[in-house]
């Protein structure tokens, strides 16, 4: 029984197609090849992904800038941030985790995970998250309500104990 690709650098395994002989294409092996391997493109791809990730991380702060037009609609901001996160995640999974170059088993992994992520959002937020109007009495006794937040804001603005040393600079 022959075991092709016993070279441990080939941990991807042969991807055989009809009529093709595996391993025929990349015969000059990487020992001594500084950048290219398996024709996947070398370090440059990873650095490009790194740059993209940095840009995306900066973009997720865009909702804080004064130029953001949807200040009054937090849902737009949340959707934008989730889109940025999903893009970053896709880049990490596809390139750093090498999934882009893997065989078809990657769909067995990624498609159910994507379904789960989608269902998590769709099922939990509207059906449970936004419908928690019934709370136990013990929780109701002690939990904060929007009226408490308003009370705290009013107390802050009233500055009843404002002192002349000038630390509180309103009023």
Partner 1 sequence: MNASAATISHGHGHDHDNGHGHDGHHGPVLQYQPGLPLSRGKLIMWLFLSTEIMFFAALLGSYVVLRFGAPVWPKPHHVHLSEPIGAFNTFVLICSSVTIVLALEAARANRTGLAKFWMVLTLALGTLFLGVKGYEYQAKFSHGIYPWSPRSRVFEKPDLYYGSAVRARLGEPAIMDRLKELDDAAENTLSPEEVSGRRRLKQIGQMVSSPDQQPFDLAVVADQVMPLPVDASADHSGNSGHGSHGLNDTFPWLKLPAVIPGGNMWASTYFLLTGFHAIHVLVGLIVFAILLLYRLGPKRAGMIENAGLYWHFVDLVWIFLFPLLYLF
- Contacts of partner 1 in 47-86 (CB under 8 A): 47, 49-50, 53-54, 57, 60-61, 63-64, 78, 81-82, 84-85
Q: How far apart are the C-alpha atoms of 96 and 122, rounded to whole Å? A: 29
Q: In the complex, what is the shortest distance from the CB of residue 114 to partner 1, in angstroms, rounded to a whole number?
A: 11
64/69 with CB nearer partner 1 = 64
Question: If binding means CB under 8 A, how many residues of this protein chain bind partner 1?
Answer: 88
Binding of residue 121 to partner 1 (CB under 8 A): yes
Binding of residue 136 to partner 1 (CB under 8 A): no
> Buried b / exposed e across 53-88, counting CB within 10 Å, b at 16+?
beeeeeebeebeeeeeeeeeeeeebeebeeebeeeb
DSSP type of residue 124: I
Is residue 92 within 8 A of residue 130, CB to CB? The reply is no
69/104 with CB nearer partner 1 = 104
Q: Which of 14, 55, 79, 115 binds partner 1 (CB under 8 A)?
A: 14
138-120-114 Cα angle (round to 5): 160
Binding of residue 148 to partner 1 (CB under 8 A): yes
Is residue 130 within 8 A of residue 83, CB to CB? The reply is no
Q: In the complex, what is the shortest distance from the CB of residue 89 to partner 1, in angstroms, rounded to a whole number?
A: 5
Q: Which of 39, 67, 72, 144 binds partner 1 (CB under 8 A)?
A: 144
Q: In the complex, what is the shortest distance from the CB of residue 67 to partner 1, in angstroms, rounded to a whole number?
A: 17
Spatial CA neighbour of 102 closest among 40, 45, 41:
40
Is residue 73 within 8 A of residue 47, CB to CB? The reply is no
100/117 with CB nearer partner 1 = 117
């Amino acid at each position: 029984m022959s075991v092709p690709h016993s070279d441990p650098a080939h941990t991807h395994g042969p991807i055989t197609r009809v009529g093709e002989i595996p391993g025929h294409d990349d015969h000059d092996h990487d020992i001594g090849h500084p950048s290219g391997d398996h024709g996947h493109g070398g370090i440059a791809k990873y650095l490009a992904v790194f740059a993209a990730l940095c840009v995306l991380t900066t973009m997720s702060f865009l909702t804080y800038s004064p130029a953001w037009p949807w200040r009054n609609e937090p849902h737009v901001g949340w959707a934008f941030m989730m889109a940025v996160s999903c893009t970053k995640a896709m880049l990490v999974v596809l390139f750093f985790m090498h999934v882009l170059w893997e065989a078809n088993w990657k769909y067995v992994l990624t498609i159910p995970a994507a379904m789960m992520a989608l269902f998590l959002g769709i099922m939990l937020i509207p059906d449970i998250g936004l419908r928690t109007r019934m709370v136990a009495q013990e929780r109701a006794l002690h939990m904060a309500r929007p009226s408490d937040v308003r009370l705290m804001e009013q107390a802050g603005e009233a500055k009843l104990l404002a002192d002349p040393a000038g630390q509180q600079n309103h009023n």
